[in-house]
Amino acid sequence: MHELQDPPAAPRPSRHRRRPRRRARWAGGAAAALALAAAAAAVVAAVGHGGTPADRSGQATTAPARPPSSTPPSSPAGPSGGAAAAAPQAGPVVNGRRQPAPVDVPRSASGDYAVVPGTTEPPEGTGGPVVRYLVEVERGLPFTGRAFAAQVHRILNDPRGWGHDGAMRFRRVSRGPVRFRVSLSSPALTDRVCAPLITGGQLSCREGERSVINALRWAAGDDSYGRDVLSYREYLIGHEVGHALGHGHRTCPGPGRPAPVMVQQTKSLYGCEPNPWPHPQG
Ligand SMILES: [Zn+2]
């Protein structure tokens, strides 16, 4: 099953509208890379962000890395454990919300996931068919599974999200069957799971039933959202889970318009305004 959802190659804007882009080189050959990826026996959706510099596109034919297995929820250690568990919410206030405290994300962690235990029901007021999903966090990352899962669950069930107007609602579970997994991953594990897409330790992707969330981006946000890390997190979950729900990439409908959530906003806003929600009007 191939689900390559990048748009055809298009000239990349040389500059972000508001600030220079640090990672311009990441996106340059994305379409070419994906074309090659299509030839590989991989089930990969470039998510927002997977791309390959043209001069390295041969790497896209590399056989996909075997995704790591998840440990059962009964595993003793929590997804992160350790002292970093209770990261204080001590960041700046941006767009009216207190941002998370800065977290140093290691380049690599244990390389295996722990499923967040327990079940969280859809909140009151949601409706529609129930979609089961699970959350897993790579062991050794400085995030607690419980806190990460709570944020994911809130984002998924937000009235502005994919469940808008009773389209669906999301129940977090700890074992299958599930429609998708939200997998918080170190940059190194992201690269491994997303291969043959080249995520370069910076980007995220969707691979099979996994929405692979690069912990570096989760922690630091992205230039496209400035210092508003929380809004970027909402975008990241909405976009990657959007792929898992079958949505492909969209383009910016016009300058100054809200970017559809399926625009690859990490690469560029293409003249649109940042928008993390599938249904921003709620
Ligand atoms: Zn995408």
Question: How far is the centre of ligand 1, averaged over its atoms, from the C-alpha of 267 (Å)?
Answer: 10
Would you say 262 and 249 are in contact if contact means Cβ atoms under 8 Å apart?
yes
Q: How far apart are CA 186 and CA 237, in angstroms?
A: 16
Q: Grade residue 70 by pLDDT with cuts at 50, 70 and 90.
A: low
Of the candidates 23, 29, 37, the one whose C-alpha atom is nearest the C-alpha of residue 11 is 29
**What is the tens place of the pLDDT at every residue in 86-95?**
445 589 999 9
Question: How far is the centre of ligand 1, averaged over its atoms, from the C-alpha of 9 (Å)?
Answer: 14
Q: Specify the pLDDT at position 68.
A: 57
Q: Grade residue 159 by pLDDT with cuts at 50, 70 and 90.
A: very high
DSSP code, position 85: G
**Helical axes 229-244 vs 145-156, angle rounded to 10°:** 70
Of the candidates 234, 203, 265, the one whose C-alpha atom is nearest the C-alpha of residue 100 is 234
pTM of the model: 0.73
Question: How far is the centre of ligand 1, averaged over its atoms, from the C-alpha of 241 (Å)?
Answer: 9
**What is the tens place of the pLDDT at every residue in 265-281?**
998 999 999 999 999 99
> Percent of the chain having pLDDT more than 70?
68
Q: Grade residue 69 by pLDDT with cuts at 50, 70 and 90.
A: low
In sequence order, what are the beta bridge partners of 132? 171
Q: How far apart are CA 223 and CA 202, in angstroms?
A: 12
Question: How far is the centre of ligand 1, averaged over its atoms, from the C-alpha of 46 (Å)?
Answer: 5
Would you say 48 and 70 are in contact if contact means Cβ atoms under 8 Å apart?
no
Question: How far is the centre of ligand 1, averaged over its atoms, from the C-alpha of 56 (Å)?
Answer: 20
Kindly tell me the burial class for residue 260, based on how many C-beta atoms sit within 10 Å of its own C-beta (0-12, 13-18, 19 or more): buried
Q: Specify the pLDDT at position 83.
A: 43
Would you say 17 and 32 are in contact if contact means Cβ atoms under 8 Å apart?
no
Question: How far is the centre of ligand 1, averaged over its atoms, from the C-alpha of 154 (Å)?
Answer: 21
Question: How far is the centre of ligand 1, averaged over its atoms, from the C-alpha of 109 (Å)?
Answer: 24
